[in-house]
């Protein structure tokens, strides 16, 4: 299934508890009508499901700001970018999606990042100076009490649950630069800084656009506006220890994605023709990959959303402007450029493979 989108700025990932869910669909969230697209996938062929019913936001023409799948690959959510609405669809049959009744309203305006927890029990999203989160019982969402906090920057840009779904990390664009919440039941509690060693230099980066935990939970990658990607190891007790910094060729790491086995990491974003970076990982050593480009130049600028499918053989990249999605196949550490797909919507805010990975999105 696939959604039409316009500006890709974030990706979502989910851990399947009992065996992998095949990535049969790629979902796209957009800021241009019809606001979302579902693409079905067969091998390396993507087909836009143009027969899907109207999926416009219930509040009118507000664009979608973020999206993601639950841990079973059955349910899919999108959050309005400028209105306080959470929308959820159920994959009721092959190539068919049914929109559920309205969910409780959250904060407004602005949604820049959302994440369905790897456990499938919680959905969180941020934007402005706000954090909204819900519990999910398998058929409906219940809005929970958000923690109070002060000293936020002018904008909360990114959020992601850890692999255990017991902590939520939020990235900001001003001091204190990060908020780290631990979860106990349906309560989120603000903690002191989880970082040990080098802390991402907020004043040098301006914004923390993306946060992605590895599938095994041993690492978290943090994408910055102008200082590359910072990698931290996670010891399982809410301490993040600095491992390394990866240099990107683009201005801004708006989206990040780990491969299913955590041996590859990709970053998308920036305002130049080398806006996608990739690395292979062996232990704590990261080696840059070669990213093939297509025949054009400007159409490969500002690729702001990226995601990988469930078995790590496909990579999708969305643009801030336009309605084309760039696609790659992956074998080992070699990427092969596939034909682009043109969708109904334009201006992609987010792109998500069905159960592609586990971490939250990036700047969306």
Other Cβ atoms within 10 Å of 171 Cβ, number: 30
The alpha carbon of residue 139 and the mean position of all alpha carbons in its chain are separated, in whole angstroms, by 22
Strand, coil or helix: what is 204? helix
- How does residue 344 score in pLDDT terms, banded at 50, 70 and 90? low
Identify the residue with better confidence: 77 or 361.
77
- How does residue 359 score in pLDDT terms, banded at 50, 70 and 90? very low
Other Cβ atoms within 10 Å of 22 Cβ, number: 15
Containing 205, the helix (H) or strand (E) segment is helix 202-205
- Mean pLDDT is lowest, of 23-32, 182-191, 300-309, 337-346, for 300-309
pLDDT of amino acid 20: 41
pLDDT per residue as tens digits for the range 88-119: 888 888 888 888 887 888 776 677 788 999 99
Q: Would you say residue 333 has pLDDT above 80?
A: yes
Q: Tell me the percentage of the chain whose pLDDT exceeds 90.
A: 27
pLDDT per residue as tens digits for the range 43-78: 888 888 865 544 544 444 456 667 888 888 888 888
Q: Rounded to 5 degrees, what angle do the CA atoms 157, 206, 182 make? A: 45
**Alpha-carbon span 232 to 126, nearest angstrom:** 22
- How does residue 12 score in pLDDT terms, banded at 50, 70 and 90? very low
The alpha carbon of residue 215 and the mean position of all alpha carbons in its chain are separated, in whole angstroms, by 14
- How does residue 1 score in pLDDT terms, banded at 50, 70 and 90? very low
* Predicted TM-score of the model (pTM): 0.85
Other Cβ atoms within 10 Å of 289 Cβ, number: 17
Q: Does domain 2-353 have CATH number 2.60.120.310?
A: no
Identify the residue with better confidence: 95 or 134.
134
The ranges assigned to domains in the chain are 2-353
**Alpha-carbon span 92 to 146, nearest angstrom:** 31
The torsion angles phi and psi of 162, rounded to 5 degrees, stand at -80, 175
- What's the whole-number mean pLDDT along residues 188-217? 78
pLDDT of amino acid 62: 57
Q: What's the CA dihedral at 302, 303, 305, 311 to 10 degrees?
A: -170
- What's the whole-number mean pLDDT along residues 12-21? 35
- Mean pLDDT is lowest, of 5-14, 207-216, 334-343, 353-362, for 5-14
Give me 11's structure tokens: 């990706």
pLDDT per residue as tens digits for the range 244-270: 999 887 667 888 999 999 999 998 876
Identify the residue with better confidence: 333 or 274.
333
Name all contacts of 244-251 with Cβ < 8 Å and 24+ positions apart.
244/284, 244/286, 245/198, 246/277, 246/279, 246/286, 248/277, 249/274, 249/275, 249/277, 250/274, 250/275, 250/276, 250/277, 251/225, 251/226
The helix, strand and coil proportions of the chain, stated in percent and rounded to the nearest 5, come to 0, 45, 50
pLDDT per residue as tens digits for the range 153-174: 567 778 899 999 999 998 877 7
């Amino acid at each position: 299934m696939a959604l039409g989108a316009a500006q890709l700025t974030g990706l979502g990932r989910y851990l399947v508890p009992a065996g992998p869910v095949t990535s049969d669909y790629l979902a796209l969230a957009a800021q241009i009508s019809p606001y979302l697209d579902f693409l079905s996938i067969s091998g390396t062929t993507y087909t836009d499901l143009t027969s899907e019913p109207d999926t416009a936001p219930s509040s009118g023409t507000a664009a979608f700001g973020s999206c993601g799948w639950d841990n079973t690959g059955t349910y899919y959510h999108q959050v309005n970018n400028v209105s306080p609405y959470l929308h959820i669809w159920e994959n009721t049959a092959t190539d068919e999606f049914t929109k559920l009744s309205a969910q409780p309203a959250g904060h407004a305006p602005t949604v820049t990042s959302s994440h369905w927890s790897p456990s499938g029990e919680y959905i969180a999203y941020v934007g402005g100076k706000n954090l909204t989160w819900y519990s999910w019982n398998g058929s409906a969402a219940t809005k929970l009490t958000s923690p109070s906090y002060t000293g936020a920057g002018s904008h909360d840009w990114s959020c992601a649950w850890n692999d255990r779904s017991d902590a939520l990390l939020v990235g900001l664009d001003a001091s204190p630069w990060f908020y780290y919440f631990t979860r106990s039941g349906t309560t989120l509690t603000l903690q002191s800084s989880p970082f040990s060693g080098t802390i991402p230099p907020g004043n040098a980066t301006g914004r923390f656009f993306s946060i992605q935990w590895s599938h095994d939970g041993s690492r978290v990658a943090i994408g910055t506006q102008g200082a590359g990607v910072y990698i931290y190891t996670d010891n399982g007790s809410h301490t993040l220890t600095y491992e390394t910094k990866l240099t990107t060729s683009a201005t801004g790491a708006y989206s990040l994605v780990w491969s299913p086995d955590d041996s590859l990491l990709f970053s998308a974003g920036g305002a130049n023709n080398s806006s996608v970076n990739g690395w292979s990982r062996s232990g704590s050593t990261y080696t840059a990959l070669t990213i093939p480009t297509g025949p054009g130049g400007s159409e490969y600028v500002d690729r702001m959303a990226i995601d990988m499918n469930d078995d790590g053989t496909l990579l999708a990249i969305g643009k801030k402007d336009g309605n084309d999605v760039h696609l790659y196949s992956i074998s080992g550490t070699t990427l092969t450029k596939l034909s682009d797909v043109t969708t109904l919507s334009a201006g992609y805010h987010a792109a998500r493979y069905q159960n592609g990975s586990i971490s939250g999105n990036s700047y969306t």
